Structure 1
Amino acid sequence: MTELRGAPAAADQGTPDEHRTPADPRTRSETFDGENLGPLFNSFQGDVHIQQAVFGASGPGTASPHQATGRVDDKDIRGALEHFVRPAVFDVAATRLVADQIVVLRGRPGIGRRSSALALLREVTGDALFMLSPQVTLAELSTRDYNAGCGYLLLDRPANQEAGDSDFEWLLVRDRLRAQGAFLVVTGSSARAWDDSGVAQLAWAAPDAERVLRARWSVPWPPDEAESLAEALARIEFVADAVALATRLAAGDSVDSATGHLDSRLAKEVAQWFDTGPDRTSVATLAALAFTTGADERTLESSTAVLLRHLDRHVPEPPVEGSEGAGLAQHRLLYNRNPLIRRVRLPTTFGSRGALVFADPGHHRHVVNQLWTRMGVAFWDALHDCLRDIVALGDFFERSTAFGLAVFASAAVEEVLPLLVEWSRGELGSAGQRAAVYALWFMARDDALSASALQIATAWSKQGNPAQRWVGATAFGGQLGAQYPHDAVNVLWQISTQPHTVTGSVELLFGKLFATLVHNGGDAEFVLAHLRAKLDRFPPLGRRPELRRTAVRCTAAVLSATDATSGRYAFVSFLDHAPDRLLLVARLWADVLLHRPERQSGIRTMRAALESMGRHEGDPRPRAEALGAALSAQLDAAELAALRQDFEAFLDRKGTGIGPIVAALLAALRTNPSDK
């Protein structure tokens, strides 16, 4: 196999020799389990600036700005509706929502269905709005409880669920909503649309692009550019394109510059390049770049060589008469001459490095679309073999390949899924499993793909072999769980009660999920509340001691979780933003510290967290004292004395002494609750 050398992303990943072709990854002893979760999460969360520079501000590389389940933040609602433009059928949908308390909007992603759903609900209620999991069934919708006066959104119902829908089931959902006084807007991408079942199911379309533009950029159009602007607006298909155009124009870009980034123009540029009939190497280079975006020249050239080798096997190139004795191919001239490729500089540990990316991040998706439209099965077989070879070559390749697959999934998820299934099962070793997790995380960051990623991870978690179940669970511990925390918590709890079915320690993923939610500003409290409910349901002397132990271990993992980038303890950061939840956190700490098998590790974690506060805050002693006071309120006098004694004994054994922060905690623990 052609030698490949790694192209580090956020930081240099070691010497080039560490990235040379490894032995068959299926024979490697390395395992993908709880012992190596740290690098997985660190490399994904820790290189956001790299992802933005390489992958751009659109597509799977961009974090969705909203959580996909749970209560919709008021700020998010205001942002979505600030410049909202009503589509043509909005008033019809609003009328039916008032009458039936449910309406279904059908149309493809990117046309503003979510903002339309929020706007419709705000037409009928000023109360709280909640997002439901796309995996909920009509049967569940017709039996669940709703809060009277509140609004609910169910976005992107999967097509496989819609195929089995019946009019009767929809009527049951409508009747349930009417009985409980709630409102529901559902969106789906199925082309099925009708309005005669008692539940309105409307074909949705994007609002007029010019109205969207004028809502955000109200200045008079330049007379000499009005015609070209009108032509550009006529080609816009997605709301985000019109919004981006308005943003660029408002920032002072010329019309020509601003319209140059429109999806329709980028699609045309890519199609025109392919129409010129580029040679085999040029096509292979662009295909390789789609799965190694951000690589340096050596890495891209070597990756292209691997793809060409597999193409020679799957799609042999007929010999060209007179080609013998030709000079050495000047591969790097291809990069200079290709209008779809540009060079950038990316930061590294030791400064910066050169990298090759698409001229516009939007070109990436259209290159993959053109390849999928034009190339036959043999080409894709060769590409699959190439990806199997390069994914095992280091962290950069795991992530770049995963990102490429996420982009490819927007064109043909059915072509991507077999590879992800193969890798998730461990058939390419731990590298393939990590790449499968990364791919689901990238898909979760694209509103058009997140529901598919949720379905895939759920299926793996519940039905796969132990290795695949662990991969699915790991996906829920990161970006996918941040998008769908309710699904994530339910899946992780189910698997944690069946540890024999996976190859890793699932309780660690509760901690990763909590840390990810805190890092992203998501609903981290939901994780704590879920574990609080489990601890209350399974008391220390109850009938299910094994579930009590599971709940305590998961809680301990949450309290010991740290942020992947700052290293700060996640529960401390959580309390920064939710100081009124100190009692909840203290109750969880009490359950962990009173559970003897977790006592020593709990004390060790608390001491480390307190010392970490000292590195990240000015004077953390008041916070340490507050935590100690809240903790002491959960313990009786005997428990408090025993905990204080064990804490001091632990410090004595370590020989580190009692610092001022720990002393503040211990001082609060000396207060007897009965004296308060």
Structure 2
Amino acid sequence: MDEEQSEPGPEGPDEAQGAEETEEPRAGQSAPDRPERPEPSGEPEPAAPDTPAAAPVHHNRVNQYFYGALDAPGAHFGIGAGDSASVRRRAVGRLDAGEADALLAPYVEPGCFEEAAAALAQDGVVVLVGPPGIGKRSAAVALVAKAAEGTEYVVLSPGRSLEDLAEGRVAFGKGVGYVLIDRMRETASGTADFDWRRVRDTVRDHGAHLVITTVHPVDGDAPGSVRHVSWELPDLAAVLRVRLLRKRCDADTVERAVAGLPDGCGVAEVAEAAGRIARGGDPDEVWQDYGSGAAEPVREWFAAGREPREWAEVTTLAFITGAGYRDFETWQERLEEWVAPTFPVLANDEETAAAHRRDADRRLSLGRNVLVAVEKRKDGALTRGALVFAHPQYRQWVLQELWAKRSTAYWNGVRDWLTELVGTRPGLGVQLSVASGLALLTRPAFDEVDENYLHPWAAGAAGPAGQSTATLVLQFMCLDEGLASTALAVGRGWAHSPDPAVRSAAAAAFSGALGVRFPTDAVNVLLRLTGRSEEAEPALAGLVALLLECGEDTGAVLRPLAYRLRALRTTLTGHHKETVLGTVQTVLGARDPRTGRLVGASLLDGDPGQSDRFAELWAGVLESRPRRAWALRLLHATLRDLTAVTAEPDPAAVRFGRSLGAVLTDRERWHLSTALRRTAVRPAPETAALMETFLIAVLSTED
């Protein structure tokens, strides 16, 4: 069995999500090896309610910054460019009606659509193979919409293996359409056709339909049991017309837009451009930012003969955008030192090279560079100049041209320069810029980024700032639908590493955007890492906070933890129970790093559907005698913070009280009523009133 996937446990009606199921361990299944947690000798004195139960770690602050103040200077990540909207929702689970309609209403079928539809109708499974940007995701939804009996569609994780699909680890439902976007490449197997046949039979036996997309061509002969269809780009002019006519654009605008459609566009680019034109953008100006319209000025610039200084200018700007002149020139000069050996005129005479760097008037050179612009940015009452690309889209094309035209020796210098730069802890602004640049570089050169930056930095080659920058690269990759599954594969690989520093980076990555996009994968990884990384438990707590902030299902974390507590409830003690209780304790004690408020208080108000699961976690620690004093004081602090996060705390307190009372024994209910009042020393009047409301609700569940 793949270490990342565990057997699903029994699920009650409330856990059956009809979507990407949260995988639970078997009852009694042991946790991964970890150092034994010492048994407390008595009731420990907990942190005071005003003291954070667990200080937010550096990685978590980076993740919060990424969400709270995303700044991707000069980045262009397809739909939602420069915006975190796409990364704020999960990429798996049930596809809601609004998103399905948005994909299906303007859909234009390519010529290969009917072939795939026929294969899906016959076999129940079909695989769409092709490069990014040709509309495979929309096609997958359109295909299951045509074949499935109902209108329920579920997106599965790209990390699902053929074994997962064949062995029932996905609860396929009759009449439901399933799509698995950007399936990861698996190790070549001599039983590939047999494995695909098992997947086909499982899906058909359940009366479901499954469409899988992948960028990886089949090695050798395609499996005969499941059709692999080479996908084609639809007629982009038709895609553009449909979208503009649906927005009621006038005929002249539509024709101008179609006539100006440049070569080299993908479906996502056409969709984004259509949206801008429909909102009033001039078609001629809009198309300058897409396809060959955006690439041509960059290609023309590189086609001319360029001085070493100019190569350094655009390389520096590709990774550091938005800096002022002084910082930019300092970093550029340092880059020139690293790459000087790759230019013969400089490599042959170090004295000449040093004089060249010393005498260069970089500011005049930047002013003559047509790819560079100075943007005026407000900084309080002041205005400062920030060096950026003349058009944001230039950045990705500059990186592609640099990769195509500069040698390995040059990129070795860039690697050493960036490693040195990030190691100096230059601040979050520079980290974000470097991370977004590396995320863009993964498109033409993923192996370069993975082998020279992601893994070494995650291992600590550039210090703590390098580790957090590596996790930010994965967060930025999640902004791009075509790169999100690759980021997931990298994060899963980190989690398998024997290096504790790399596993720590994995925990940080899955507590951020990667965890929001792929919550089931994140929880599976983090629960396994609780035995191998000190940051796994805080990462689970951080993931709860981010899921809540993004309006996503916090039950992705709470359900498996509650399941584990139920499986161990009759166990008096033991290593596995202590591990689970320790994880639950960390989650309950988590605080929002920005507000200092307990995440649990916000959860009671913001995600009322999880009240029962949340209560099960509380019951677990309240029934653990060594943790009871800590739990009582934290429960009081949670009720106190509830009065701060909402103007109407009573409904949440009543709901939580009834849920908690329902899972406590009669003895535990009365003990809670007495002990909680004794724990609360001189509570504020509003907290005291809310505590009484809560306790009345707890006792109202008495048999």
TM-score (structure 1 length as normaliser): 0.86
Kept in 1, the 8 Å contact 2:179–2:211? The answer is: yes
Give the C-alpha shift of residue 287 in structure 1. Answer: 0.6
Partner of 1:111: 134
SS in 2 for 1:487: helix
Kept in 2, the 8 Å contact 1:61–1:442? The answer is: no
CA distance in 1, matches of 2:611, 2:537: 22
CA distance in 2, matches of 1:492, 1:40: 18
Kept in 2, the 8 Å contact 1:514–1:561? The answer is: no
**Deviations along 1:361-416, whole A, 9 cap, x unmatched?**
22111111000000001110110110111002333333322222111111111101
CA 1:203 to 1:38, structure 2 compared with 1: closer, same or farther past 3 Å?
Answer: closer
Give the C-alpha shift of residue 460 in structure 1. Answer: 1.6
Kept in 2, the 8 Å contact 1:113–1:187? The answer is: yes
CA 1:334 to 1:612, structure 2 compared with 1: closer, same or farther past 3 Å?
Answer: farther
CA distance in 1, matches of 2:443, 2:631: 44
Partner of 2:537: 507
Does the alignment pair 1:41 with 2:63? yes
Partner of 1:277: 305
* Counterpart selection for 1:463 from 497, 516, 522: 497
CA 1:345 to 1:631, structure 2 compared with 1: closer, same or farther past 3 Å?
Answer: farther
Partner of 2:38: none
* Counterpart selection for 1:589 from 618, 622, 626: 618
SS in 1 for 2:179: strand
Does the alignment pair 1:183 with 2:209? yes
CA distance in 2, matches of 1:300, 1:322: 20
Give the C-alpha shift of residue 570 in structure 1. Answer: 3.8
CA distance in 2, matches of 1:323, 1:588: 64
SS in 2 for 1:522: coil
Partner of 1:18: none
Residue 329 of structure 1 aligns to which amino acid in structure 2? A
* Counterpart selection for 2:78 from 58, 61, 74: 58
Give the C-alpha shift of residue 166 in structure 1. Answer: 2.6
Kept in 1, the 8 Å contact 2:75–2:396? The answer is: no
CA distance in 2, matches of 1:74, 1:554: 35
Kept in 2, the 8 Å contact 1:58–1:362? The answer is: no
Does the alignment pair 1:525 with 2:551? no
CA distance in 1, matches of 2:403, 2:315: 11
Give the C-alpha shift of residue 664 in structure 1. Answer: 1.7
SS in 2 for 1:633: helix
CA distance in 1, matches of 2:525, 2:60: 21
Does the alignment pair 1:79 with 2:102? yes
Kept in 2, the 8 Å contact 1:538–1:548? The answer is: yes
**Deviations along 1:241-267, whole A, 9 cap, x unmatched?**
211221222122222112111132111
CA distance in 2, matches of 1:554, 1:275: 57
Does the alignment pair 1:394 with 2:394? no
CA 1:205 to 1:644, structure 2 compared with 1: closer, same or farther past 3 Å?
Answer: same
Give the C-alpha shift of residue 178 in structure 1. Answer: 1.4
CA 1:38 to 1:203, structure 2 compared with 1: closer, same or farther past 3 Å?
Answer: closer
Partner of 2:442: 409
Give the C-alpha shift of residue 558 in structure 1. Answer: 2.7
CA distance in 1, matches of 2:379, 2:163: 52
CA distance in 2, matches of 1:599, 1:355: 55
**Deviations along 1:117-155, whole A, 9 cap, x unmatched?**
111111122253222222222233222252222222111
Kept in 2, the 8 Å contact 1:142–1:172? The answer is: yes
- Further displaced range: 145-154 or 633-642: 633-642
Give the C-alpha shift of residue 116 in structure 1. Answer: 0.9
CA 1:629 to 1:86, structure 2 compared with 1: closer, same or farther past 3 Å?
Answer: same
Kept in 1, the 8 Å contact 2:157–2:521? The answer is: yes
CA distance in 1, matches of 2:655, 2:352: 83
Give the C-alpha shift of residue 201 in structure 1. Answer: 0.9
Partner of 1:672: 699
Kept in 2, the 8 Å contact 1:368–1:407? The answer is: yes
CA 1:56 to 1:417, structure 2 compared with 1: closer, same or farther past 3 Å?
Answer: closer
CA distance in 1, matches of 2:333, 2:649: 56
Give the C-alpha shift of residue 512 in structure 1. Answer: 0.9
SS in 1 for 2:242: helix
- Further displaced range: 171-180 or 630-639: 630-639
Partner of 2:411: 380
CA distance in 1, matches of 2:112, 2:372: 41
Give the C-alpha shift of residue 54 in structure 1. Answer: 4.5
Partner of 1:5: none
SS in 1 for 2:396: helix
Q: Name stretches of at least 5 consecutive residues in structure 2 with no aligned partner.
A: 1-54
Q: How many residue pairs get matched? A: 632
The one of the two structures with greater contact order (alpha-carbon pairs below 8 A, sep at least 6) is 2
Does the alignment pair 1:617 with 2:651? no
Give the C-alpha shift of residue 506 in structure 1. Answer: 1.6
* Counterpart selection for 1:630 from 659, 667, 677: 659
CA 1:566 to 1:367, structure 2 compared with 1: closer, same or farther past 3 Å?
Answer: farther
CA distance in 2, matches of 1:398, 1:170: 43
Give the C-alpha shift of residue 272 in structure 1. Answer: 0.9
SS in 1 for 2:319: coil
SS in 1 for 2:210: strand
CA distance in 2, matches of 1:651, 1:337: 69
CA distance in 2, matches of 1:474, 1:326: 40
CA 1:94 to 1:375, structure 2 compared with 1: closer, same or farther past 3 Å?
Answer: same
* Counterpart selection for 1:172 from 193, 198, 211: 198
Give the C-alpha shift of residue 666 in structure 1. Answer: 3.0
Partner of 1:490: 524
Does the alignment pair 1:135 with 2:164? no
CA distance in 1, matches of 2:115, 2:121: 10
- Further displaced range: 585-594 or 351-360: 351-360
CA distance in 1, matches of 2:391, 2:206: 49
**Deviations along 1:483-542, whole A, 9 cap, x unmatched?**
11111111111111x2xx33x232111111111222222232221111111111122525
Give the C-alpha shift of residue 286 in structure 1. Answer: 1.1
Alignment of 1:573-588 (within 5 A): 573-588=602-617
* Counterpart selection for 2:373 from 342, 347, 367: 342
Residue 587 of structure 1 aligns to which amino acid in structure 2? E
CA distance in 2, matches of 1:195, 1:57: 32
Residue 611 of structure 1 aligns to which amino acid in structure 2? R
CA distance in 2, matches of 1:674, 1:292: 60
Kept in 1, the 8 Å contact 2:438–2:449? The answer is: yes
* Counterpart selection for 2:233 from 186, 206, 218: 206
- Further displaced range: 549-558 or 407-416: 549-558
Partner of 1:262: 290
Identity over aligned residues, as a percent? 31
